[in-house]
């Protein structure tokens, strides 16, 4: 919402400075977004041309002697054809910035003659496009004064942001009302006389709605004015419209725009001679066409309200008038319309047709119903004032709703909600100045809501009115009551895991990424997604069409982008949501990560001590296990199973699970076809841990750890090598070894893996070191031999392998 200071002062008598008004507007909720104080026009003065001689070396130039009021004439070279002795105009001295040509003047030398300034054209002062000559003021204009003040160029322009609840502030008069309430002056009451009418309105209007849709147009006012003469609107009106960024068109059109901004009351003016028969306000018909003032044709439907005559639709209710019945310079008879529309219907019409107008903006927020008739009178008066003519009687179809909301308002609500005590007289005064009707004097007031405040429904709304006018600044911060001396744990298990997973992966040298929750459909499908339930109906682009079923495609694509920039060895992770459906429980908390190229735990790229090996399935497995450990899982208790989802390499991926129904994580090298589809080259390994699947830790009575049992007896280590089929899992073998003697065996680890022709195709040799930890007595050779035999038997039984000779 834009307006100028002089415009505001039409409605508000005030001594306040510009700064005070600006600050107050912001503090009462009418946020000043910008203020153009027009200071750039200040240096221009009114000056008189004393003499004008022909330039000695140029036919079209004149050398002027200009008096800017200080009695010290200066020499100015000027090319304007109308430059002559005696002319009074706008002068800019050297050093002045001239906005219309974006130039800072300096002392010039034009064909050998010095020029100390410039006489300006209207274009040079951004007043119009006029540049055929310099500005000529009346002969009696006093010289030496400010040209900007004389021409009204110094009128500061406000731009304020109006929140959707304040349609009353979408007119300058409403803003003046708020300023008065805030002590910034006194509102100049608007007095609108009913226009003198000498004949009945020749055009009738009918509201044609079903009973349940009558609220689409509660009232419609119309007045005929005959014998008008259209033309440019007066200078002052044009200047104000220009200042707020509107293009003056003609008096009849400018009047409607001016009243929209001045009083927040949109009006429409039809060329009455182009209207055929009476007007009908009705719903549009399916497929009905309408040519609007913007020159575009719109196809209408029954959800849209229109104003029609015998020719068809003449206007889109509350949104935009029609091209065919619009006013032109030849218009002699007009119909002035002031109507009321249903805000939601106007909003929907504007949205459906993609039309934004000042009228729509106001109607969808709520136009003061009580001002419908006065608005019509005011519009008609302005038409007669600016264009002449004679008014008919007015017609009002429908019924103008009367405000009937009265709020029972305990004054104590102000303190309850804001913490400040505002004296009740002050509360009453504020409400009254804002136009609320207040009755009662005790603790509970009856407050009648004014017709221009559709946003005020209940007690908190009134508290807000009192608070914003009384001053939010006056509320002193008060501490919240303390809940206790020492803060308790506030994070849920899930939140704790979230943080632990992030910190542990970063501590493994990975970089935390946050990638989009929406990914391209083909990526989603590659990772088991792309369901109808997780598809966006209005994606911002096809690259962001589906909610992700996995963190991996986003991370792999990110690795690809980094690779394109020359960073091939990257380790990325993300801890965030995936979406397996559209229900809350379908959103899973995942820790996922990838490593590309040589980005291993020990570091990436080449190093003088070690070569740069490629990442593989075991890097991803280690990452996944470390997340589980960080989240409190004892990973010695989990099952590692071969195989996983089909975006992984089928022979190089696995699952970490607690039984087949509870898969905690998957890991592996990415399938070459997956990478090809994502257009990223490998090698890439990745993992995903489902943090929600990790069981809640069991609640324990105390935090005491289990006792530490240390044996003084020396541990014994024995090595074994077994030749087994390739298909035998190493985990099966170590589990068999460990299970051979549960008391003595404290650890089994694999220290060598050998595959080669010497032990036969399809065979491998796995060498293990078994640690025996005696607890009661030192082991004898016989004890050790007995355990060794058990180990060998157990492994051979479980794996079908043999002890390697």
Partner 1 sequence: MNDIVTLENSILAEIDTAKDEAALESVRVTSLGKKGSISEKMKTLGGMTPEERQKTGPALNGLKATVTEAIATRKDVLKREAISARLEHETIDVTLPVRQSPSEAGRIHPISQVVDEITAIFADMGFSIAEGPDIETDYYNFVALNFPDGHPAREMHDTFFLESDENGERKLLRTHTSPVQIRTMEAQEPPIRIVIPGKTYRCDSDATHSPMFHQMEGLVVDKTSNVANLKWVLEEFCKSFFEVDQVKMRFRPSFFPFTEPSLEVDIQCDRSGNEVRFGEGNDWMEILGCGMVHPNVLRSGGFDPDEYQGFAWGIGIDRIAMLKYGMPDLRAFFDADVRWMKHYGFRPLDMPTLFGGLSS
Return the closest-CA partner of residue 42 out of 137, 156, 133: 156
Distances (CA, A) of 684 to 305, 509, 524, 553: 60, 16, 18, 12
Q: How far is the CB of 547 from partner 1 (least distance, A)?
A: 7
**Which tokens sit at 503?**
């910190």
Nearest-angstrom CA–CA distance, 797 and 479: 72
Q: Give the residue with the Cβ less far from partner 1, 18 or 393.
A: 18
**Helix residue spans in 308-408 (DSSP H):** 343-353, 358-363, 372-387
Q: Give the residue with the Cβ less far from partner 1, 287 or 487.
A: 487
Secondary structure letter of residue 707 according to DSSP: P
Q: How far is the CB of 720 from partner 1 (least distance, A)?
A: 34
Return the closest-CA partner of residue 747 out of 778, 768, 775, 764: 768
Q: 383 burial class (0-12, 13-18, 19+ CB within 10 angstroms)? A: buried
Q: Give the residue with the Cβ less far from partner 1, 461 or 629.
A: 461
Q: How far is the CB of 134 from partner 1 (least distance, A)?
A: 40
Q: Give the residue with the Cβ less far from partner 1, 427 or 570.
A: 570
Q: Give the residue with the Cβ less far from partner 1, 134 or 558.
A: 558
Q: How far is the CB of 238 from partner 1 (least distance, A)?
A: 31
Residues shown for the chain: 805
Output the DSSP codes for 715-781.
PEEEEEEEEEETTS-HHHHHHHHHTT-TTTEEEEEEEEEE--GGG-TTEEEEEEEEEE--SSSPPPH
Q: How far is the CB of 774 from partner 1 (least distance, A)?
A: 38
Nearest-angstrom CA–CA distance, 547 and 518: 4
Q: How far is the CB of 229 from partner 1 (least distance, A)?
A: 39
Return the closest-CA partner of residue 189 out of 177, 178, 198: 177
Please check whether residue 583 is in contact with residue 554, taking contact to mean a CB–CB distance below 8 angstroms.
Answer: no
Who's near 787: CB < 8 A, 6+ residues apart?
740, 741, 744, 745, 772
Please check whether residue 127 is in contact with residue 243, taking contact to mean a CB–CB distance below 8 angstroms.
Answer: no
Output the DSSP codes for 38-77.
-GGGTT-EEEEEEEEEE-TT-SS-EEEEEE-SSS--EEEE
Q: Give the residue with the Cβ less far from partner 1, 537 or 708.
A: 537
Strands (E) located in 146-202: 157-161, 186-187, 197-199
Q: How far is the CB of 603 from partner 1 (least distance, A)?
A: 4
Q: How far is the CB of 184 from partner 1 (least distance, A)?
A: 15
Q: Give the residue with the Cβ less far from partner 1, 513 or 628.
A: 513
Q: Give the residue with the Cβ less far from partner 1, 16 or 544.
A: 544
Q: How far is the CB of 754 from partner 1 (least distance, A)?
A: 29
Q: How far is the CB of 537 from partner 1 (least distance, A)?
A: 4
Return the closest-CA partner of residue 201 out of 217, 221, 219, 228: 221
Q: Give the residue with the Cβ less far from partner 1, 115 or 515.
A: 515
Q: How far is the CB of 585 from partner 1 (least distance, A)?
A: 8
Cis peptide before 683 (omega within 30 of 0): yes
Q: Give the residue with the Cβ less far from partner 1, 565 or 661.
A: 565
Q: How far is the CB of 693 from partner 1 (least distance, A)?
A: 17
Q: What pairing do the DSSP bridges indicate for beta strands 312-316 and 289-291? A: unpaired
Q: Give the residue with the Cβ less far from partner 1, 598 or 799.
A: 598
Please check whether residue 681 is in contact with residue 563, taking contact to mean a CB–CB distance below 8 angstroms.
Answer: yes
Phi, psi of 753 (to 5 degrees): -135, 125
Please check whether residue 531 is in contact with residue 525, taking contact to mean a CB–CB distance below 8 angstroms.
Answer: no
Q: Give the residue with the Cβ less far from partner 1, 235 or 351.
A: 351
Q: How far is the CB of 390 from partner 1 (least distance, A)?
A: 40
Residue in the structure block whose two tokens are 């010095």: 114
Q: Give the residue with the Cβ less far from partner 1, 86 or 494.
A: 494
Q: Give the residue with the Cβ less far from partner 1, 291 or 601.
A: 601
Nearest-angstrom CA–CA distance, 293 and 315: 9
Q: Give the residue with the Cβ less far from partner 1, 501 or 723.
A: 501
Nearest-angstrom CA–CA distance, 344 and 216: 9
Query: Please, what is the angle between helix 617-630 and helix 493-506, to 10°?
Result: 140
Q: How far is the CB of 506 from partner 1 (least distance, A)?
A: 4
CA atoms within 13 A on the CB side of 498: 10
Q: Give the residue with the Cβ less far from partner 1, 319 or 467.
A: 467
Edge-first strand order for the sheet with 219-226 is 197-199, 390-398, 219-226, 334-339, 268-271
Q: How far is the CB of 182 from partner 1 (least distance, A)?
A: 11
Q: How far is the CB of 76 from partner 1 (least distance, A)?
A: 39
């Amino acid at each position: 919402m834009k307006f100028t200071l002089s415009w505001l002062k039409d409605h508000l008598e005030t001594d306040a400075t510009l700064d005070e008004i600006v600050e107050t507007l912001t503090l009462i909720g009418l946020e000043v977004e910008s203020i153009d104080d027009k200071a750039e026009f200040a240096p221009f003065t009114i000056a008189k041309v004393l003499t004008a001689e022909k330039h000695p070396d140029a036919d079209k130039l004149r050398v002027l002697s200009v008096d800017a009021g200080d009695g010290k004439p200066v020499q100015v070279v000027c090319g304007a054809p109308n430059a002559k002795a005696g002319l009074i105009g706008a002068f800019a001295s050297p050093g002045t910035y001239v906005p219309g040509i974006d130039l800072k003047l300096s002392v010039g030398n034009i064909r050998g003659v010095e020029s100390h300034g410039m006489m300006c054209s209207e274009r040079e002062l951004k007043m119009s496009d006029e540049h055929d000559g310099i500005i000529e003021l009346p002969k009696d204009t006093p010289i030496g004064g400010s040209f900007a003040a004389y021409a009204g160029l110094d009128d500061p322009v406000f731009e304020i942001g109006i929140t959707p609840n304040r349609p009353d502030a979408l007119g300058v008069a409403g803003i003046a009302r708020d300023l008065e309430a805030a002590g910034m002056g006194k509102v100049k009451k608007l007095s609108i006389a009913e226009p003198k009418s000498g004949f009945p309105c020749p055009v009738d209007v009918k509201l044609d709605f079903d009973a349940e849709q009558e609220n689409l147009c509660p009232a419609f006012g119309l007045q005929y004015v005959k014998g008008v003469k259209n033309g440019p609107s007066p200078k002052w009106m044009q200047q104000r419209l220009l200042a707020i960024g509107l293009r003056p068109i003609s008096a009849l059109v400018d009047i409607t725009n001016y009243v929209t901004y001045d009083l927040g009351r949109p009006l429409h003016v039809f060329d009455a001679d182009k209207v055929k028969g009476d007007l009908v306000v009705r719903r549009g018909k399916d497929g009905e066409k309408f040519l609007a003032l913007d020159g575009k044709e719109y196809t209408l439907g029954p959800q849209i309200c229109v104003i029609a005559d015998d020719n068809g639709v003449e206007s889109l209710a509350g949104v935009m008038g029609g091209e065919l019945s619009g006013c032109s310079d030849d218009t002699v008879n007009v119909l002035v319309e002031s109507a009321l529309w249903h805000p939601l219907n106007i909003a929907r019409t504007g949205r459906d047709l993609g039309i934004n107008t000042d009228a729509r903006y106001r109607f969808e927020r709520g136009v003061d119903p009580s001002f419908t008739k006065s608005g019509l009178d005011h519009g008609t008066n302005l038409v007669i004032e600016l264009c002449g003519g004679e008014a008919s009687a007015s017609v009002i179809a429908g019924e103008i709703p009367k405000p009937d909301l009265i709020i029972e308002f305990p004054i104590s609500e102000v303190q309850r909600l804001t913490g400040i005590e505002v004296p009740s007289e002050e509360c009453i005064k504020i409400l009254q100045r804002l136009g609320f009707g207040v009755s009662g004097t005790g603790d509970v007031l009856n407050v009648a809501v004014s017709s221009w405040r559709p946003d005020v429904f209940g007690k908190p709304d009134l508290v807000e009115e009192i608070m914003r006018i009384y001053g939010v600044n006056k509320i002193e911060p008060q501490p919240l009551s303390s809940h206790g001396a020492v803060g308790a744990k506030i994070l849920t298990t899930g939140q704790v895991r979230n943080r632990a997973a992030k910190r542990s992966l970063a501590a493994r040298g990975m970089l935390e990424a946050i990638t989009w929750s929406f990914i391209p459909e083909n990526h989603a499908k590659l990772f088991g997604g792309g369901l109808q339930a997780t598809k966006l109906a209005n994606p911002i682009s096809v690259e962001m069409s589906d909610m992700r079923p996995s963190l991996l495609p986003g991370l792999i694509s990110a690795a690809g982008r980094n690779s394109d920039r020359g960073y091939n060895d990257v380790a990325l992770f993300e801890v965030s949501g995936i979406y397996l459906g559209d229900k809350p429980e379908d959103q899973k908390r995942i820790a996922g990560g990838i490593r590309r190229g040589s980005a291993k735990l020990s570091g990436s790229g080449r190093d003088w001590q070690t070569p740069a090996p490629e990442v593989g399935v075991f890097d991803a497995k280690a990452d996944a296990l470390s997340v589980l450990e960080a989240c409190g899982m004892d990973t010695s208790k989990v099952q590692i199973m071969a195989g996983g989802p089909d975006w992984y390499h089928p022979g190089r991926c696995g699952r970490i699970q607690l039984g087949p129904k509870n898969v905690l994580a998957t890991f592996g090298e990415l399938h070459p076809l997956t990478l090809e589809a994502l257009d990223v080259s490998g090698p890439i390994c990745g993992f995903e841990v489902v943090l929600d699947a990790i069981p809640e830790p069991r609640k324990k009575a105390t935090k005491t750890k289990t006792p530490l049992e240390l044996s003084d007896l020396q541990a014994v280590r024995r090595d074994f090598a077994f030749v087994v089929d390739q298909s035998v899992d190493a985990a099966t073998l170590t589990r068999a070894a460990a299970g051979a003697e549960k008391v003595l065996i404290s650890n089994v680890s694999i220290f060598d893996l050998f595959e080669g022709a010497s032990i036969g195709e399809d065979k491998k040799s796995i060498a293990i070191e078994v640690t025996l930890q005696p607890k009661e007595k030192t082991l004898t050779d016989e004890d050790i031999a007995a355990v060794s035999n058990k180990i060998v038997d157990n492994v051979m039984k479980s794996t079908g392998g043999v002890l390697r000779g």
